[in-house]
A = this chain, B = another copy of it.
Amino acid sequence: MERTERSGRQQSTTEHRRRELLEAAERIVLRDGPDASMNAIAAEAGITKPILYRHFGDKGGLYRALALRHTDALLANLATALDAPVLRRDRVEATLDAYLLAIESQPQVYRFLMHPAEGDTAPETGFDVGRHSAPLLRRLGEELAKVITDRLDLGPGGELTARVWGHGIVGMMHGAGDWWLRERPCTREQLVTQLADLLWGQLAAVEDRAGGPGF
């Protein structure tokens, strides 16, 4: 039937238009940060607001669509680092490095991803701590947990341990990366080494300072 044929083509051109709009939005968001207005984005795309709303529903929808692309890209990157066939320590360092390289080379993207400007489709949840704080981080944590579960023999209750560690490590990466990107107190390699040391138990291993009350 022609119906499906035509609707198929329409679908594809619609998708194409949507991609164009997303690219315009991306240019503006990268330029103006999370304060980018729908008007500005529409202007960049050479159109007016209502069209954006037809395509993405609301601002949150547009932002989510935009975030999805980069999130997927970053996750793919990290997955390859995580799959490198080397020693565990090297693999951890490679993953940390991949993340830090990503946020270093595209800080605006990173910043945007971390603050998708609300819009959880769930109004009035009443207990939505971290509504802003990036679904990206949650996805990263879960992915890492999966890898840990797959590769490590954690014994009974290991699944919970893996998830705690996954989210903990991602949080560590994020927190340290945020600070590092802002202050740039050292090279990326140094940061990676220090963080890997931390994960390798150096905090517990180093000696107390002589004469101090211990730690």
User: Residues of A at under 8 Å CB distance from B?
Assistant: 34, 85, 87-89, 91-92, 103, 107-108, 110-111, 114-115, 127, 129-133, 137-138, 141, 147-148, 150-154, 160-161, 163-165, 167-176, 178-182, 185-186, 190-191, 194-195, 197-210, 212-215
B89 touches A151 (CB 8 A): no
CB < 8 Å neighbour of A151 from B174, B191, B215: B215
Of the candidates A92, A131, A203, the one having the most CB atoms from chain B within 10 angstroms of its own CB is A203
Q: What is the distance, in angstroms, from A37's C-beta to the closest C-beta of chain B?
A: 15
Assuming the A-B contacts A129-B178, A194-B160, are A200 and B204 also in contact, with contact meaning beta carbons closer than 8 angstroms in the complex? yes
Assuming the A-B contacts A151-B215, A204-B199, are A167 and B175 also in contact, with contact meaning beta carbons closer than 8 angstroms in the complex? yes
Q: What is the distance, in angstroms, from A129's C-beta to the closest C-beta of chain B?
A: 5
A153 touches B209 (CB 8 A): yes
Of the candidates A85, A160, A164, A213, the one having the most CB atoms from chain B within 10 angstroms of its own CB is A164
Complex alpha-carbon distance, A200 and B34, angstroms: 38
Complex alpha-carbon distance, A29 and B178, angstroms: 26
Of the candidates A160, A173, A175, the one having the most CB atoms from chain B within 10 angstroms of its own CB is A175
How many copies the complex holds: the figure is 2
- New A-B pairs, 5, CB < 8 Å, besides A132-B132, A167-B175: A130-B178, A168-B195, A169-B198, A171-B173, A201-B201
Assuming the A-B contacts A107-B127, A160-B186, A175-B172, are A115 and B88 also in contact, with contact meaning beta carbons closer than 8 angstroms in the complex? no
List chain B residues, Cβ under 8 A from A201.
Answer: 199-202, 204-205
Residue of B nearest to A82 (CB): B215
Q: What is the distance, in angstroms, from A171's C-beta to the closest C-beta of chain B?
A: 2
CB < 8 Å neighbour of A208 from B103, B153, B191, B209: B153
A194 touches B152 (CB 8 A): no
Q: What is the distance, in angstroms, from A197's C-beta to the closest C-beta of chain B?
A: 8
